[in-house]
């Protein structure tokens, strides 16, 4: 039987981040690590930053949460860490910033930073979801890549006058942003595991999009926006959507909400609540190839079922080209088996 944490919330002993990580998150991270020069840049950034400098900065400029300072938040992050069975509770800092935001940064010992804007925007359950989301980043080991992204953006801005040197950084920044958008989907799931109420998560996403009091609005209508966004328009709108997401580190709020609610309504979330989830102690035996296959399957499902006009066109072209390729391969095989006396004929010409 699962142990409970506060208010009857379930704890997940030895839970692996694989239990909640979005398959495209893991797949994007595999692709990111394969970029030429990525390891060298990671080592250079890690050496330049240093763990102590990050912690010292926030010690001097923000409020460190403790039993004496923001005691409710201190208890909350302790409960979230317990829920996800994170042994070392990350330090939590409150930063004076009117923009609602939270982030997890650092190298070996990540810290979580929450803005005053987020504290003012969300209620207690909403904050539990947000902090659980950040604890998910810690458990998944995302902090080092998030820190790297922040540093590289600053570096790229300072050396824009060096067009040759900056292109390699831009490629890595673009790949990091693509991965980070996927990692946000993963950690929304971690946040849900901490709050264990999909309605709370939906209200948080609506609040981040502009709902000042989500209890007084039709929050379910917010999901309709995601559906309209995904289904409406023509190919021109599809191109505009690609341009809008370029350079963004977070997925769009309505789409993010729809993705999490879809997961909550599926089978994986109830299975985890029932205690059926991958264990951290088994991670070393989990083959990496499964992550890549899962990512490919997720992308394929999204691609084939999407109502986006551009996806439909590409899917149709892909089907036609696949058929042509298959026919050509068949003719080549027949020619090879027949003795290769004459070249295979091309039956696909329409002229």
Residues with catalytic roles = 134
Among 37, 7, 273, 14, CA closest to 152: 37
**Size of the chain in residues:** 351
| Side-chain half-sphere CA neighbours of 109 within 13 A | 12
Work out the number of other CB atoms within 10 angstroms of the CB of residue 286: 13
Residue 19 DSSP symbol: G
Residues 6+ apart with CB under 8 A from 94: 62, 63, 65, 70, 73, 113, 114, 115, 116, 119
CA 248 to chain centre: 12
Q: Given its phi and psi angles, is residue 88 left (phi above 0), alpha (psi -120 to 50 degrees) or beta?
A: beta
| Structure-block tokens of residue 104 | 């997890």
Pair 77, 89: CB distance under 8 Å? yes
The whole-angstrom separation of Cα 133 and Cα 194 is 8
The whole-angstrom separation of Cα 53 and Cα 276 is 40
CA 6 to chain centre: 27
CA 235 to chain centre: 26
């Amino acid at each position: 039987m699962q142990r409970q944490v506060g208010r009857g919330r379930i704890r997940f002993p030895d839970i692996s981040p694989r239990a909640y990580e979005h398959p495209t998150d893991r797949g994007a991270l595999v692709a990111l690590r394969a970029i030429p020069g990525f390891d060298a840049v990671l080592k250079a950034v890690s050496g330049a930053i240093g763990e102590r400098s990050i912690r010292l900065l926030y010690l001097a400029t923000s409020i460190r949460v403790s039993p004496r300072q923001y005691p409710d938040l201190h208890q909350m992050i302790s409960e979230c860490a317990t829920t996800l069975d994170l042994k070392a509770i990350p330090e939590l800092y409150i930063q004076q910033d009117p923009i609602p935001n939270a982030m997890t940064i650092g190298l070996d010992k990540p810290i979580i930073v929450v803005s005053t804007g987020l504290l003012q925007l969300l209620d207690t359950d909403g904050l539990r979801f947000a902090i659980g989301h950040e604890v998910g980043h810690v458990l998944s080991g995302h902090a080092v890549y998030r820190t790297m992204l922040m540093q590289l953006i600053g570096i790229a801005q300072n050396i824009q006058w060096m067009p040759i040197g900056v292109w390699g950084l831009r490629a890595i920044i673009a790949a990091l942003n693509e991965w980070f958008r996927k990692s946000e989907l993963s950690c929304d799931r971690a946040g849900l595991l901490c709050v264990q109420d999909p309605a709370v998560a939906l209200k948080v996403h609506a609040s981040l999009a502009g709902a000042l009091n989500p209890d007084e609005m039709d929050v379910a209508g917010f999901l309709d926006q995601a559906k309209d966004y995904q289904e409406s328009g023509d190919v021109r709108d599809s191109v505009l959507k690609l341009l809008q997401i370029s350079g963004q580190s977070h997925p769009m709020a309505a789409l993010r909400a729809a993705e999490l609610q879809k997961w909550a309504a599926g089978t994986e979330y109830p299975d985890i609540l029932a205690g059926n989830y991958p264990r951290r102690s088994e991670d070393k035996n989990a083959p990496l190839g499964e992550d890549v296959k899962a990512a490919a399957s997720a992308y394929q499902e999204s691609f084939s079922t999407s109502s986006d006009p551009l996806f439909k066109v590409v899917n149709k072209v892909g089907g036609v080209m696949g058929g042509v390729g298959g026919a050509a391969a068949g003719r080549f095989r027949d020619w090879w088996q027949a003795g290769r006396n004459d070249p295979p004929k091309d039956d696909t010409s329409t002229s």
